[in-house]
């Protein structure tokens, strides 16, 4: 009997979903679009950044250096400048990312091994890119020096060899695929569920549902079950997309990964039902989930900005957001290939959050209208 | 046993008093009409009786169960059609009906005899989405959904609002059939002419019951004489008549105005008086009062009492 009612509910919910183009678009269009956009557009790997030169030397060695820089894939030559006052020109009209100033007597000082100061100017309005580009250019200049002067490996010199573990090529997809999974699951589970319950309130159908022998628990379960299933499908969709398009691996246990997704989906669903319990209209529910959930999940979860460099209060806020823990779990399992022995803590936090939100939903859910 | 008992129910929304000490009883197998304009408190009362809202004070019983303590038992026994069309617009006629049958633990087949007459009218459109139905058909579907679990008491909140005249008439005929099947019905309407179709009615205004009786008795008890008056300048005439000593009340009524007098006046004399005041095309007729007259008169009295 209970199962029959539950099934009727799930069926009805699937009718709603499949007959509404907007919902379908959010469900399947958004994850795909978001992964592809993050993947192809927002890339922190540089290609063909435009660099300007102010060459005071105009000698052979300086031309060789410029050629070396140009031959790397990272840079292309913008313009050649002739005077100091032109330095900022490229930055101002937005065409240049970098300016290199080569001092006079470059060749002479270079081969006499005198100290040389090459000046690099970058656009500080975009600090992350500026730092990355400076690193690129430093390494190019370094290898140029080594080649030309044929400096043997100096036994007294400390050479630092860096290696990016788990992501040797520094591919940004390794960061955003876990982040996107976390965000999408949050959007679908929390926002869509809160919207669908708010819609019943808005259209008045909740009145009929309440004036029926259905228990509130059954109403909620019947409403969230389809979204739980669809979020799960989305999680798999993004994993597959990440694997085949951006070569993001799953190094740990897939079963554990999916189990963690399930726990996170349940966390988001409980938040969604809590939001809907306090919202009267769909717009209300939408605003609450966007402002109260999506924004913090995106900004404070460590997905875009590192949490550790935030002011203390924001770090605290970041640690009450489920997404923070889920991204931690995802990165652990997918990239570092760790198992339950490491991810048990964030998983445990998610469990606690479920209990917490369930308690409040239960406190807030009314068997009546008011 | 009474199907519905309402005892001194009051309800406030913040500083607005929606219901003031409302009391009435609905007998088993009776069509009881709650007649009043928008904002009179009808929907609030429906929500309290269908256990969706809690009253601030007073008691209520539906099908023998107290509305607060035994709300779960009530929810099994009542059918409720809210004022707003509250079915799933993106589900077809058939899907809606079968969904509501299932959540009430029954099937369409089990209680088909109860809805047969109504459902047959919308059956040709059973594959159509509920949102694409006409107003009249929507109401029929909503009624089917409210009836599908064979309720003892049926709550219909303004079922005929926004429905065409023909469908409204059909709707009332259906209610008469349901009544014969032993279902008690509480129905609200802002249309005074529908009052006469109820067994008994309660007139409600600003959260207060003005009068409870059978429609005919209510009209008979209205012992005032009413004159319908027509002329070229109706608005000015109302102002003029209201200042006269013999006038008890004078209210606009479509293209007429209805004048209630304290004592009997002669039609010819009244007509002459009005014409000498400069009004033209004057027609006066003595009429039997309608529920609307009773309502407007009682409402006017209430207003004057309050002042």
pLDDT of B85 > 60? The answer is yes
Choose the final residue of a domain: A140, A165, A190: A165
Distance from CA of A6 to the nearest CA of B (A): 8
A36 belongs to a structural domain? no
Closest CA to A10 of A222, A266, A256: A222
Judgement on whether residues A161 and A229 belong to the same structural domain of the protein: no
Judgement on whether residues A205 and A353 belong to the same structural domain of the protein: yes
Q: Which residues of B touch A205 (CB under 8 A)?
A: 86-88
Residues 6 or more apart in contact with residue B108 via CB below 8 angstroms: B97, B98, B101, B148
Q: Would the CB atoms of A207 and B80 count as touching at under 8 Å? A: yes
Tell me, what's the pLDDT at A43?
60
Choose the final residue of a domain: A121, A140, A165: A165
Q: pLDDT tens digit string along B226-240?
A: 899 988 888 888 888
Task: Report the CATH number at residue A126.
Answer: 3.40.1710.10
In this structure, what is the dihedral angle of CA atoms A312, A314, A320, A323, given to the nearest 10 degrees? -130
Tell me, what's the pLDDT at B305?
81
Question: Given A4, A205, A211, which is nearest B75 (Cβ)?
Answer: A211
Judgement on whether residues A90 and A230 belong to the same structural domain of the protein: no
A356 belongs to a structural domain? yes
Contact status, residue B293 vs residue B222, Cβ threshold 8 Å: yes
Tell me, what's the pLDDT at B288?
86
A35 belongs to a structural domain? no
Q: Which residues of A touch B86 (CB under 8 A)?
A: 203-205, 207-208
Distance from CA of A355 to the nearest CA of B (A): 27
Contact status, residue B187 vs residue B159, Cβ threshold 8 Å: yes
d(CA B238, CA B227): 13
Judgement on whether residues A189 and A307 belong to the same structural domain of the protein: yes
Residues of chain A whose beta carbon is less than 8 angstroms from a beta carbon of chain B are 1, 4-5, 8-9, 11-12, 15-16, 19-20, 203-205, 207-214, 367-370
Q: Would the CB atoms of B52 and A369 count as touching at under 8 Å? A: yes
Choose the final residue of a domain: A144, A165, A186: A165
Judgement on whether residues A248 and A278 belong to the same structural domain of the protein: yes
| CA atoms in the 13 A half-sphere facing the CB of A163 | 3
d(CA A365, CA A216): 8
Q: Report the side by side order of strands in the sheet with B65-66.
A: B16-27, B2-13, B57-62, B65-66
Residues of chain A with pLDDT under 70: 1, 42-45, 151-157, 159, 169-171, 370
Judgement on whether residues A187 and A129 belong to the same structural domain of the protein: no
Judgement on whether residues A208 and A119 belong to the same structural domain of the protein: no
pLDDT of B245 > 60? The answer is yes
* DSSP code string of B244-269: STTEEEEEEETTEEEEEESS---HHH
Question: Given B52, B102, B103, which is nearest A207 (Cβ)?
Answer: B52
Residue of B nearest to A5 (CA): B103
Question: Given B76, B84, B95, which is nearest A204 (Cβ)?
Answer: B84
Closest CA to A194 of A101, A118, A283, A74: A283
pLDDT of B306 > 80? The answer is no
Q: Would the CB atoms of B53 and A368 count as touching at under 8 Å? A: yes
pTM of the full structure: 0.79
Mean pLDDT of the B128-137 span: 91
Q: Would the CB atoms of A16 and B86 count as touching at under 8 Å? A: no
Mean pLDDT of the B262-281 span: 86
| More confidently predicted of A276 and B202 | B202
Residue of B nearest to A18 (CA): B90
Q: Report the residue of B12, B47, B52, B70 to disrupt the A interface, i.e. the one with the largest count of A CBs within 10 Å.
A: B52
d(CA A150, CA A167): 32
A184 belongs to a structural domain? yes
Q: Which residues of B touch A368 (CB under 8 A)?
A: 51-54
Tell me, what's the pLDDT at A170?
66
Q: Report the residue of A212, A221, A282 to disrupt the B interface, i.e. the one with the largest count of B CBs within 10 Å.
A: A212
> What's the number of domains chain A is made of?
2
Question: Given A11, A15, A211, which is nearest B90 (Cβ)?
Answer: A15
A347 belongs to a structural domain? yes
Average pLDDT over all residues of chain B: 90
Q: pLDDT tens digit string along B156-174?
A: 999 988 888 888 999 999 9
Helix B112-122 vs helix B165-180: crossing angle, to nearest 10: 170
Q: Would the CB atoms of A12 and B53 count as touching at under 8 Å? A: no
The residue behind tokens 């579907």 is B141
Distance from CA of A231 to the nearest CA of B (A): 22
Tell me, what's the pLDDT at B247?
85
Q: Report the residue of A10, A208, A215 to disrupt the B interface, i.e. the one with the largest count of B CBs within 10 Å.
A: A208
Question: Given A4, A16, A210, which is nearest B102 (Cβ)?
Answer: A4
Closest CA to A205 of A231, A223, A187, A178: A223
Q: pLDDT tens digit string along B8-65?
A: 999 998 888 899 999 999 999 999 999 998 888 999 999 999 999 999 999 999 999 9
A214 belongs to a structural domain? yes
Tell me, what's the pLDDT at B135?
86
Tell me, what's the pLDDT at B277?
86
Mean pLDDT of the B128-150 span: 92
Distance from CA of A222 to the nearest CA of B (A): 11
Judgement on whether residues A182 and A323 belong to the same structural domain of the protein: yes
A26 belongs to a structural domain? no
Judgement on whether residues A212 and A318 belong to the same structural domain of the protein: yes
d(CA A330, CA B203): 65
Contact status, residue B31 vs residue B175, Cβ threshold 8 Å: yes
A244 belongs to a structural domain? yes
Judgement on whether residues A254 and A123 belong to the same structural domain of the protein: no
Judgement on whether residues A148 and A265 belong to the same structural domain of the protein: no
CA-to-CA dists, residue A42 to A39, A106, A221, angstroms:
6, 38, 38
Tell me, what's the pLDDT at A322?
93
Judgement on whether residues A338 and A269 belong to the same structural domain of the protein: yes
Q: Would the CB atoms of A368 and B54 count as touching at under 8 Å? A: yes
CA-based end-to-end distance of chain B = 40
Q: Which residues of A touch B98 (CB under 8 A)?
A: 8
Residue B25 token pair:
């009883």
Closest CA to A222 of A1, A11, A51, A36: A11
Burial class of A315 by CB neighbour count within 10 A (0 to 12, 13 to 18, 19+): middle
Q: Which domain holds residue A157?
A: 49-165
Residues of chain B whose beta carbon is less than 8 angstroms from a beta carbon of chain A are 47, 50-54, 71-72, 75-76, 78, 80, 82, 84-91, 95, 98-100, 102-105, 145
Tell me, what's the pLDDT at B127?
94
């Amino acid at each position: 009997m209970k199962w029959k009612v539950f099934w009727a509910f799930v069926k009805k919910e699937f009718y709603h979903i499949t007959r509404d183009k907007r919902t379908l678009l959010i469900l399947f269009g958004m994850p795909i679009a978001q992964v592809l956009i993050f993947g192809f557009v927002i890339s922190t790997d540089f290609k063909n950044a435009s660099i300007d030169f102010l060459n005071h030397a105009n000698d052979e060695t300086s031309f060789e250096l410029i050629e070396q820089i140009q031959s790397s894939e990272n840079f292309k030559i913008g313009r050649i400048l002739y005077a100091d006052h032109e330095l900022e020109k490229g930055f101002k009209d937005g065409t240049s990312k970098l300016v290199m100033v080569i001092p006079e007597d470059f060749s002479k000082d270079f081969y006499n091994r005198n100290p040389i100061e090459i000046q690099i100017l970058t656009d500080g309005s975009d600090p992350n890119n500026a730092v990355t580009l400076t690193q690129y250019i430093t390494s190019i200049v370094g290898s140029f020096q080594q080649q030309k002067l044929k400096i043997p490996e100096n036994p007294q010199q400390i050479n630092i060899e860096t290696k990016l573990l788990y992501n040797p090529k520094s591919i940004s997809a390794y960061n955003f695929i876990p982040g996107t999974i976390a965000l999408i699951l949050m959007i679908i589970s929390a926002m869509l569920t809160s919207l669908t319950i708010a819609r019943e309130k808005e259209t008045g159908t909740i009145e009929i549902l309440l004036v029926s022998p259905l228990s509130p628990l059954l109403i909620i379960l019947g409403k969230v079950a389809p979204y739980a299933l669809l979020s799960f499908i989305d999680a798999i969709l993004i994993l597959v997309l990440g694997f085949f398009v951006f070569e993001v691996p799953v190094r740990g246990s897939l079963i554990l990964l999916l189990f963690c997704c399930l726990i996170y989906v349940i966390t988001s669903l409980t938040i969604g039902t809590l939001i809907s319990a306090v919202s009267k209209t769909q717009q209300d529910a939408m605003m609450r989930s966007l402002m109260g959930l999506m924004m913090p999940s995106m900004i404070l979860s460590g997905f875009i900005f590192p949490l550790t460099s935030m002011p203390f209060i924001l770090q605290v806020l970041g640690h009450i957001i489920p997404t923070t823990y889920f991204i931690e779990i995802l990165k652990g399992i997918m990239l570092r290939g760790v198992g339950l022995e490491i991810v048990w803590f964030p998983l445990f936090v998610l469990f606690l959050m479920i209990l917490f939100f369930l308690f409040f939903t239960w406190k807030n859910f009314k068997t009546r209208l008011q | 046993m009474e199907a519905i008992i309402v005892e001194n129910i009051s309800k406030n929304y913040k500083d607005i008093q929606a219901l003031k000490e409302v009391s009435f009883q609905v007998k088993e197998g009776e069509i009881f009409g709650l007649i009043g304009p928008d904002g009179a408190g009808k929907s609030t009362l429906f929500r309290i009786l269908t256990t969706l809202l809690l009253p601030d004070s007073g008691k209520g019983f539906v099908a023998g169960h107290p509305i607060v303590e035994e709300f779960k038992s009530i929810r099994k026994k009542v059918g409720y059609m809210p004022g707003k069309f509250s079915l799933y617009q993106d589900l077809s006629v058939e899907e809606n009906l079968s969904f509501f049958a299932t959540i009430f633990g029954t099937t369409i087949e089990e209680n088909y005899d109860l809805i047969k007459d109504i459902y047959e009218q919308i059956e040709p459109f059973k594959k159509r989405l509920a949102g694409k139905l006409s107003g009249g058909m929507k109401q029929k579907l909503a009624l089917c959904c409210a009836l599908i679990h064979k309720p003892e008491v049926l709550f219909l909140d303004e079922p005929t609002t926004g429905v065409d005249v023909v469908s409204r008439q059909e709707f009332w005929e259906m209610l008469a059939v349901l009544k014969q099947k032993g279902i008690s019905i509480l129905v609200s309407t802002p249309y005074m002419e529908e009052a006469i179709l109820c067994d008994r009615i309660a007139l409600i205004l600003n959260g207060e019951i003005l009068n409870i009786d059978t429609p005919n008795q209510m009209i008979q008890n209205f012992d005032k004489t009413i004159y319908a008056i027509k002329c070229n300048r109706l608005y000015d005439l109302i102002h003029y008549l209201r200042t006269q000593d013999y006038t008890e009340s004078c209210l606009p009524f479509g293209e007429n105005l209805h004048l209630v007098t304290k004592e009997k006046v002669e039609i010819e004399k009244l007509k002459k008086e009005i014409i000498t005041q400069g009004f033209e095309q004057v027609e006066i007729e003595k009429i039997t009062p309608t529920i609307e007259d009773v309502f407007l008169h009682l409402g006017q009295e209430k207003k004057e009492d309050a002042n």
